[in-house]
């Protein structure tokens, strides 16, 4: 098996070890998807909950539930990324 070079793949979703340890694999995957969208030109995640869920094989409600868990469990203290926190909170409230 050859090594995968990230420049040879069309994007990737990061899975942050600390989020996996604290909240579990699914919240880490959802965080990674939202983070990817935040890396786009406008810096916002405009993807719907349905789209994010469809990309990783879960329902809109599952995405919403774990985004809420991320907002509650991830962003504590002054070092939190305010822009990403706001984006996740907005996604958690989406209907």
| pTM as predicted | 0.72
In sequence order, what are the residues at sequence separation of 6 or more whose Cβ sits closer than 8 angstroms to the Cβ of residue 38?
A: 44, 45, 83, 84, 87
Quick one: average pLDDT of 29-53?
Answer: 88
Q: What local confidence, expressed as pLDDT, does residue 4 receive?
A: 65
Q: Does residue 71 have a pLDDT over 90?
A: no
Lowest mean per-residue pLDDT among 9-23, 45-59, 81-95 = 81-95
Quote the tokens at residue 67: 């985004």
């Amino acid at each position: 098996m050859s090594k995968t070079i990230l420049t040879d793949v069309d994007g990737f979703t990061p899975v942050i070890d600390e989020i996996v340890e604290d909240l579990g694999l699914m919240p880490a995957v959802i965080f990674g998807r939202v983070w990817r969208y935040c890396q786009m030109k406008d810096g916002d995640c405009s993807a719907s909950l349905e789209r994010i869920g469809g990309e990783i094989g879960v329902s809109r409600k599952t995405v919403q539930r774990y985004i809420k868990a991320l907002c509650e469990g991830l962003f504590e203290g002054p070092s939190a990324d305010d822009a990403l926190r706001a984006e996740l909170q907005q996604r958690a409230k989406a209907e």
